[in-house]
Amino acid sequence: MGAPTVVDDDHVRWITFDRPEAANALHPDDLEPLADAVRGIGPGTRAIVFTGAGGRAFCAGMHLDAFAGLTPATARRLISRLADALRAVRHAPVPTVAMLNGACIGAALELALACDLRTARPGVRLGLPEVALGIPSVVDAALLPAYVGLSRAREMILTGDLYELDAFGPGFANRVAAPDRLRAETLALLRRVTAHTPEVLAAQKALFETWLEQGISACVATSVDVFADVFAAPATAAALAAHRR
């Protein structure tokens, strides 16, 4: 048990954090394989699901040992590796899902925020406890206000507390299901999402990132180009024809 495991099953890539004896905490050497598992999907992969081994945790974020003895230079290298892994998740051309089957803490919550969709079991606990360690919450923690509002996000980050799923509001988890139903509910949601052409999903995913990074005028201009380009794919014409019957 150690680095995240990767299993491809029926067009879905399952990436499982596999260190259950340590609440699936990540080590620095896990970050590049995690990014490679996302970037290395084949043409038959229609979605990526992240989850945790065992029933205790989704992932506890970076293992505390990762921060021991850091200098400004080595701290920059570590957080840059994490940022690169999360960037790979945001830029994935297929839908990404964080299936939260247990506690989701620190960098793991940042990954869940970076995913397109989240499914969770009731009562799962989440949080960004970095301030309690004397370090700030960074990289994709910047997405938290979009889910919970600015005031609530600042409270969550500045207290460093863990919160029940309900504290994140109804818009955070797309589906909530009992542990024995969570995988089935996740797959049911994915069936609806992946019913569309890969070309349109990749185009829409790219636009999501544009919407995060640019103002409305630039977003509209980029959207015009993306809309036009998708008509180069034969699948677009086939999908339109199917709906006109």
CA 52 to mean position of chain CA atoms: 13
Asked if residue 110 lies in contact with residue 86, where contact means CB atoms within 8 angstroms, the answer is: yes
**Residue 110 known to be catalytic:** yes
* Catalytic one of 110, 155, 164, 213: 110
The three-class DSSP label of residue 101 is coil
* Catalytic one of 21, 32, 130, 199: 130
Asked if residue 223 lies in contact with residue 207, where contact means CB atoms within 8 angstroms, the answer is: yes
**Residue 164 known to be catalytic:** no
Cα-Cα-Cα-Cα dihedral of 39, 3, 98, 222, to 10°?
-20
CA distance 5 to 1: 9
CA distance 95 to 166: 24
Instruction: Return the DSSP state at 179.
Output: H
* CB neighbour burial string for 213-244, b if at least 16 within 10 angstroms, e if fewer: eeeeeeeeebeeeeeeebeebeebeebeeeee
The 3-class secondary structure across 137-164, one letter per residue, is CCHHHHHHHHHHCHHHHHHHHHHCCEEE
Q: Supply the residues annotated as catalytic.
A: 110, 130
